[in-house]
Amino acid sequence: MSDEPLQEPNPAATKRALGGDEPLLEPGPAESRAPVRIDVVTLFPEMFAPLQHSILGRAIEQGLLAVSYLNPRDFTADRHRTVDDYPYGGGPGMVMKAEPIFLAVESVASPESAIILLSPAGRVFSQTVAAELAAHDHLVLICGHYEGVDERVREHLATDELSIGDYVLTGGELAAMVVVDAVARLLPGVLGHAESAGDESHSHGLLEYPQYTRPPTFRGWPVPDRLLSGHHAEIAKWRRRQSLERTAARRPDLMTPDLLAELADDGSKKRSRRRRSTAAPTPVAQGADREVGAAQDDAPVPDAPPPLDARSPDSSSVPGSLA
């Protein structure tokens, strides 16, 4: 009954932008890229209210990112604005109809747009995929509901299909929000410092090293000695080592041959100072059975100087990593 041609879809009704098409501010001279546009096709645009807050809200206000919403219901023509129907062949639940989704996407897409269906059957989203998407000018994220979307959306409309992990959600909205967040923080100017997006878990294929802030001893637990030393080369070496050991212990699947070789190296160029047994355990096992951070810090830290780079407790602008 809803196969008749559509009369008056009303994209404006849901394209009402939480952060809209028109940036409030011009991008600054240092960040001259046009805003990345993201159109989200969803029956529930209200679910995206969290994107107005915090870092993403600021990115939208600054015109680095523009997120708009398209409701398939606004692209129906029947009296009941039908967006779902029974599955051919029978079975439980309802399937989202193809036409309202096609019309919604076609109202905004160009041949360059990445049109992404969120689904547990997609390729698994990762930091690498986020970086790939951040290079696009326009993303369209399609959020399914009910038992899923008509297969023709997947076959003839979507250019990509992504899953945020091996679990099933009631709709694609939460997955789409994860994608928006991970992509947005990679856009120039979105995070406080230019390097902020480059140093944390997964950005270089390793988990993040441990982070500490004041006080130097909390409930008797000291900050590792090396971090208080002010010796930047030593600190960098310690952090790299921690990242390697933590990754080997918690995510051995991320350990490439190069990383395993680096881990097997005890990090000291002065072989005479080698502390470990001569029969080296296998790299992964070495990382896996050791408490991260324990073996490196042999010296106690009685009266360490204040951290050189300590920020005042309320000055941090960017939350840390995923680790």
Give the residue, chosen from 12, 25, 49, 168, that forms a contact with ligand 4GO under the rule CB under 6 A.
Answer: 168
φ and ψ at residue 302, rounded to 5 degrees: -70, -65
x-marked contacts with ligand 4GO along 170-189 as a string, rule CB under 6 A? -xx--x--------------
Residue 132 dihedral angles phi and psi, to the nearest 5°:
-60, -45
Distance, C-alpha 85 to centroid of its chain: 33
Structure tokens at 251: 């995510």
Tell me the one-letter amino acid at 72. P
| Strand 138-143, strand 36-41: pairing | parallel
Check residue 26 and report its DSSP letter.
P
* Residue that has been written with the tokens 């395993």 in this structure: 260
Residue 88 in the binding site for ligand 4GO (CB under 6 A): no
Interface residue with ligand 4GO, options 116, 118, 158, 183 (CB under 6 A): 118
- Secondary-structure breakdown of the chain: helix, strand, coil percentages, each rounded to the nearest 5: 35, 15, 55
Q: Is 133 helix (H, G, I), strand (E, B) or coil?
A: helix
Q: Select from 100-108, 166-174, 226-234, 273-281 the region that touches ligand 4GO (CB under 6 A).
A: 166-174
Q: Which is nearer to ligand 4GO, 169 or 264 (CB)?
A: 169
Of 169, 264, 288, 301, which lies in the binding site for ligand 4GO, with binding defined by CB under 6 A? 169
Q: Which of 76, 119, 243, 286 binds ligand 4GO (CB under 6 A)?
A: 119
- Closer by beta carbon to ligand 4GO, 171 or else 252: 171
Restricted to residues 128-147, the positions that interact with ligand 4GO (CB under 6 A) are: 144-145
Nearer Cβ to ligand 4GO (164/227): 164
With CB atoms as reference, the residue minimizing the distance to ligand 4GO is 144
Judged by CB under 6 A, which stretch of 40-48, 51-59, 115-123, 243-251 contacts ligand 4GO? 115-123
- Helix (H) or strand (E) holding 238, with range, is helix 232-250
Nearer to ligand 4GO, 115 or 249 (CB): 115
Q: Map residues 210-239 to x or -, x wherever contact with ligand 4GO holds by CB under 6 A.
A: ------------------------------
Dmax of the chain from CA atoms? 83
63: left (phi over 0), alpha (psi -120 to 50) or beta: left
Strands 84-85 and 95-96: antiparallel
Binding site for ligand 4GO (CB under 6 A): 118-120, 144-145, 148, 163-165, 167-169, 171-172, 175
